Structure 1
């Protein structure tokens, strides 16, 4: 009997813990907001679907909560400017209808020019 109670407690605990880390879907107007999680419960990826296709901004995070990617979709296709953070640089990738148009690699040594008024 003790083993059965112990197994039941472990089972309930496992279910409770796993439910915190499942993917969530929330309806927002004609969009569905999807949130995917790491095992520790932190957000891994968040974005929207429309008619079961990726749409709008999708943001990815590392396990420390830092942004690793910002992506844009329109009807499931890659569009606009994407930003991908790496250890040593920031990549800016421009897409048009799933095709890479340009790639800029911004490194820490890059200088910023501005107009002083």
Structure 2
């Protein structure tokens, strides 16, 4: 049940973040990755990360709410979520481990925002 609720929350946050229109793209010739910054209507960054040249999400992605507060951080490899992802929900942080683009485990960390800000 917890996985379903978290998955629905992630989907909702992703759809909100991806609904933003303003976007900056820049090719990093050293890494061969396309650097992306998307903005909320108020001008604050909604998310930033990179795509590979095939157009797949690749590398670290960070999402922010419309107040500039971090709401998620994680990595993609060739379009698939991988490794540890962090989701900030009020004063708590959820740590989600992905394997082969699927949730492998979920760990709730209560009142550890400062610790998670280092991620």
Q: Give yes or no for the alignment of 1:84 onto 2:82.
A: no
- Give 4+ residue runs of structure 1 displaced > 3 Å after superposition: none
Alignment RMSD, CA only? Answer: 1.7
CA distance in 2: counterparts of 1:108 and 1:37, whole angstroms = 28
CA distance in 2: counterparts of 1:108 and 1:41, whole angstroms = 29
Q: Give yes or no for the alignment of 1:27 onto 2:30.
A: no
Q: Give yes or no for the alignment of 1:37 onto 2:12.
A: no
How do 1:87-98 and structure 2 match up within 5 A?
87-98=90-101
Q: Give yes or no for the alignment of 1:101 onto 2:95.
A: no
Task: Give the TM-score normalised by structure 2.
Answer: 0.71
What is the CA-CA distance between 1:36 and the residue it aligns to?
A: 0.7
CA distance in 2: counterparts of 1:81 and 1:39, whole angstroms = 29
CA distance in 1: counterparts of 2:75 and 2:22, whole angstroms = 24
What is the CA-CA distance between 1:108 and the residue it aligns to?
A: 2.0
What is the CA-CA distance between 1:66 and the residue it aligns to?
A: 1.2
CA distance in 2: counterparts of 1:22 and 1:68, whole angstroms = 19
CA distance in 1: counterparts of 2:23 and 2:102, whole angstroms = 29
Count the aligned residue pairs.
Answer: 90
Which structure has the higher relative contact order (CA within 8 Å, separation 6+)? 2
2:64 to 61, 65, 74: 61
Task: Give the TM-score normalised by structure 1.
Answer: 0.72
